[in-house]
């Protein structure tokens, strides 16, 4: 299966943010890469409908969308890959953004 025929689905998981907040955040970003630190889970569904969870240990360098199918195959999934589900920890992303925002704004307005 060609890499561009695999579907990549980005989802968010949060215990503190309302669903609309998550939808707004996910719909405004188009990342080329997802860092390991923000990954919550990654699932792969093969064309035979078998589904596997990829251990984050195999994705220590994060996920580069141009190479995602190769990343997943290297982690042990067999081809052909139908769907890759990338679940992002929205709470961690929010904390990271808040910290960076404070680092930038505190010297100016602090």
Please give the Cα distance from 108 to 62 (Å, whole number).
Answer: 33
pTM: predicted TM-score of the whole model, two decimal places: 0.74
Phi-psi region of 58 (alpha: psi -120 to 50; beta: other; left: phi over 0): alpha
Q: What is the pLDDT of residue 107?
A: 87
User: Average pLDDT by consecutive 10-residue portion of the chain (110 residues)?
Assistant: 67 80 69 85 89 85 81 71 89 85 84
- What was the pLDDT predicted at 22? 66
Query: What pLDDT is attached to residue 2?
Result: 40
Distance in angstroms (rounded) separating the CA atoms of residues 18 and 77: 33
In eight-state DSSP terms, residue 47 is T
pLDDT at site 65: 78
């Amino acid at each position: 299966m060609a890499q561009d025929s695999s579907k990549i689905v980005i989802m968010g998981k949060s215990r503190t943010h309302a669903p609309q907040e998550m939808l707004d955040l996910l719909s405004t970003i188009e990342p080329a890469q997802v860092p390991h630190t923000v990954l919550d889970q990654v699932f792969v569904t093969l064309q035979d409908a078998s589904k596997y969870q990829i251990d984050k240990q195999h994705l220590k360098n994060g996920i580069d969308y141009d190479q995602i199918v190769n990343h997943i195959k290297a982690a042990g999934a067999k081809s052909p890959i139908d769907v890759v589900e990338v679940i992002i920890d929205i709470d961690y992303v929010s904390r990271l953004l808040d910290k960076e925002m404070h680092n930038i704004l505190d010297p100016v307005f602090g």
